[in-house]
């Protein structure tokens, strides 16, 4: 299910996402959004609506000390707080002594990160990324639309994913984290 797309443009981070809730061959267009703001972070999630609900309403992102590198902060303090939130909310899963969460994009401090199910933190060199079942389609559209404005690029990517993936459905929602935030 899902297509979440994100990109960086002139220091601002833009994330867009669809509204599909998919279980097997059943699809529900959900009113609760997969893209939202939490303090000075923007999120777009796939994997589970429960995880998204925790990120939006329970997760209290830690404050970064100004001298701490942004990537190091995301890998350590951010992920530690995320893991605790998902555990407390009953979402984190343990199997064979390995803990798993879900996948989402997060924009922070002018940068875009993908948090994967094993809590690894990925930062794309191309200044755009996507996750969910429509991610490969969306990545191609983001690559091909490099000269377009940010919102248009996100819309083209989501429209392509909706057209060619059974698990992606509008309406689409967008958030921007301005460079000054």
Give the integer Cα–Cα distance in Å for 77 and 85.
12
Mean pLDDT of the chain: 95
Residue 24 pLDDT class (50, 70, 90 cuts) = confident
Domains and CATH numbers, the chain: 4-174 (3.60.20.10)
Q: How far is CA 118 from CA 4, 124, 134, in A?
A: 18, 17, 20
**What does the DSSP 8-state code read for residue 33?**
-
Per-residue pLDDT averaged across 22-38, rounded?
94
**Least confident window among 53-57, 99-103, 106-110:** 99-103
- Identify whether the C-beta of residue 133 lies closer than 8 Å to the C-beta of residue 5: no
What does the chain come to in residues? Answer: 181
Residue 98 pLDDT: 78
The three-class DSSP label of residue 28 is strand
Residue 104 pLDDT: 98
Residue 105 pLDDT: 98
C-alpha torsion angle, residues 32, 37, 43, 44 (rounded to 10): 30
Structure tokens at 129: 């990324």
Could you report the per-residue pLDDT of 130-172, keeping only the tens digit for each? 999 999 999 999 999 999 999 999 999 999 999 999 999 999 9
Residue 100 pLDDT: 86
Give the closest residue to 144 by CA, choosing from 132, 133, 131, 128: 128
pLDDT at 94 over 80: no
The three-class DSSP label of residue 154 is helix
Residue 181 pLDDT class (50, 70, 90 cuts) = confident
Residue 48 pLDDT class (50, 70, 90 cuts) = very high
The HSE-up count of residue 83 (CA atoms within 13 Å, CB side) is 17
Buried-exposed string 111-124: b where 16+ CB fall within 10 A, e elsewhere: bbbbbbbebebeeb
Give the closest residue to 20 by CA, choosing from 37, 1, 39: 1
pLDDT at 36 over 80: yes
Give the integer Cα–Cα distance in Å for 22 and 162.
13
Could you report the per-residue pLDDT of 109-141, keeping only the tens digit for each? 999 999 999 999 999 999 999 999 999 999 999
pLDDT at 63 over 90: yes
């Amino acid at each position: 299910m899902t297509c979440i797309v994100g990109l960086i443009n002139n220091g601002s981070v833009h994330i867009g996402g669809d509204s599909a809730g998919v279980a097997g061959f059943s699809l529900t267009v959900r009113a609760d959004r997969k893209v939202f703001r939490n303090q000075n972070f923007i999120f777009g999630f796939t994997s589970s609506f429960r995880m998204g609900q925790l990120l939006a309403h329970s997760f209290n992102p830690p404050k970064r000390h100004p001298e701490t590198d942004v990537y190091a902060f995301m890998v350590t303090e951010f992920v530690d707080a995320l893991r605790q939130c998902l555990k407390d909310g009953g979402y984190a899963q343990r199997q064979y002594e390995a803990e798993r969460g879900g996948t989402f994009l997060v924009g922070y401090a002018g940068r875009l990160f993908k948090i994967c199910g094993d809590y690894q933190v990925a930062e794309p060199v191309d200044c755009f990324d996507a996750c969910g079942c429509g991610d490969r389609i969306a990545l191609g559209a983001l690559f091909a639309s490099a000269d377009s404005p940010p919102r248009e690029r996100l819309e083209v990517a989501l429209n392509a994913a909706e057209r060619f993936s059974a698990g992606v459905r509008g309406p689409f929602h967008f958030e921007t984290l301005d460079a000054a935030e």
